[in-house]
Amino acid sequence: MPESRRAQLRKLLQVCRARIEFRQFRHTLNEIDTAQGHQGFRRSRKRIHEMYTGIEALLTICEGNPRWIIGILRPLLQRYRANLEHGNRSTMSVSSQTSQILSVVTRYRSLLTTIPLKRSARKGADVSVVRMIDRIGDYMFRDVVLGPFKPEPILSFVVDRNVSDTEVHALGAAINQGTSLRVSRQRAVDRGDTVILSRQIGFSEASVHVSELNIPDRGRMFVDISSMDRRTMSLVIYHVLRTVQKRAMEICFLYAPAKYNDPPEDMLPIQSSEPVNALLSGAPRDPRLPTILFLGLGYEVGLALGVVEFFEPARVLAFTPRGTDPRYDTMVDQVNETLFSDQDYIKRIDYSVLSPANTLIALKEQVLALREIAKIVFVPLGPKIFSSMAILLGYLYAPDITVWRVSTQLDPNQADRIADGSIIGYKLQVRSPNGA
């Protein structure tokens, strides 16, 4: 048989195997018919099929990507070595392989959620890298698995002029992260397995303004951070510290926790991922120093895990909020469960939202112990009282500390909230140069 014929058969076998593998898990033929009609179908992202296991499949999945090779193969090899040391010479089970693949996929999707997108003037639904990939993947899955059999199903797409700037930016970010391979338009069209990707989507603009503060020579100042986003908070704290540096002043930072609301079910599009402002971008003493991430946890799906994947730190101190509402505490634990699974370099540290002064002192001690031997990066997710502490320490120990913000296009902090009635806070005593 000529090689060209063999290559065609190999391609057909892969399509057939995918259809058999996925279709046998559909409960009824009516469910397949419903999926073909595009009525509410979504492929499962929480199950890895057996066709992706085995050394050949694993190497194909990795495609030479160092992140995937390390993430998938190294833990499996370490587990196999541990089994050998205990006299177990059996091969790695299918469940171990699928579990490891799912873990890496989850972390990779979380990384993609941290990619910020430019805004488009067009109106429509929100766009993110993950949502863009899911839409494309769902379309191709229907064509390969659920639709009528095709020797050459749709496995590529063309970006035409009707695609919005935001979507183009999302696709570019996806390509940069290795989610797809770019080929010439003519090559794609010649293959005959290409679909045109067209959809118009946009965002509305927003702005932030901070005015100067007039502060007396001595006395007490109250700063309510409850309704501030992190950038506004950083600018307010900067002007407060700059203005009171030659005055005897007591600064009280106040925070009114909101009543509990359920978190968004999906990963939200990222609007920005950058230093909270230029003054807090940091300048490490030695670029070769390892990065230690001070990560404040919240209950946003996949966000903390994506931040860890983005920075690839040598060590993570994951500060977990406790004490505002038992439902919030439980949800924080559930959402971030994957973060702590099989990750020896991630240390969980619980802190009480109701005792911010103690938390600030503990953070300060950690910073003083580590700032000469590591690059310190704060990413304060979760309660805003933790963000105020990160920003404050960033200014006090600049430029050794970087304070990073990750904000979503549909940020829950920007929605209307109802206070739970309590007020918490901490205070700083600033002394004048003459000791007054």
Task: Assign 391 a pLDDT band (cuts: 50, 70, 90).
Answer: very high
How far, in Å, are 96, 138, 307 from residue 102 at the CA level? Answer: 10, 18, 18
Give the pLDDT confidence score for residue 37 in this predicted structure: 47
Distance CA 48, CA 65 (A): 19
pLDDT tens figures, 149-189: 887 787 777 777 777 777 777 777 777 666 655 544 444 44
Q: What is the pLDDT of residues 231-271, one digit of tens each?
A: 899 988 988 887 776 677 788 899 999 888 888 776 666 77
Domain definitions of the chain by residue range: 205-436
Q: Does residue 317 carry a pLDDT above 80?
A: yes
Q: Which of 55-64, 235-244, 412-421 has the lowest mean pLDDT?
A: 412-421
What is the C-alpha to C-alpha distance for residues 233 and 210, in angstroms, rounded to an integer?
9
What is the per-residue pLDDT for 432? 60
Asked whether the beta carbons of 340 and 361 are under 8 A apart, the reply is: no
Q: What gap in Å lies between CA 432 and CA 436, rounded to an integer?
A: 6
Instruction: Look at 165 and 202; give whichever has higher pLDDT.
Output: 165
Round to whole Å and give the CA distance between 106 and 101: 9
Amino acid code (one letter) for 403: V
pLDDT exceeds 60 at position 216: no
Question: What is the band of 433 on the pLDDT scale with cuts at 50, 70, 90?
Answer: low
Whether the predicted pLDDT of 281 surpasses 80 = yes
The predicted pLDDT at position 44 comes to: 55
pTM here is 0.61
Range scoring the smallest mean pLDDT among 11-20, 27-36, 177-186, 400-409: 27-36
Question: Token pair 């593998």 is at which residue?
Answer: 21
DSSP secondary structure string for all residues of 360-388: HHHHHHHHHHHTTTSEEEEEE-S-HHHHH
Q: Determine the pLDDT at residue 218.
A: 60
Higher pLDDT, 266 or 98: 98
In angstroms, how far apart are the furthest CA atoms of the chain? Answer: 95
Percentage of residues of the chain with pLDDT beyond 70: 76
DSSP state, 258? Answer: B
Cis peptide before 399 (omega within 30 of 0): yes
**pLDDT score of 408 more than 90:** no
Residue appearing with tokens 């404050």: 392
| pLDDT at 26 exceeding the cut of 60 | no
Average pLDDT estimate for 285-295 = 90
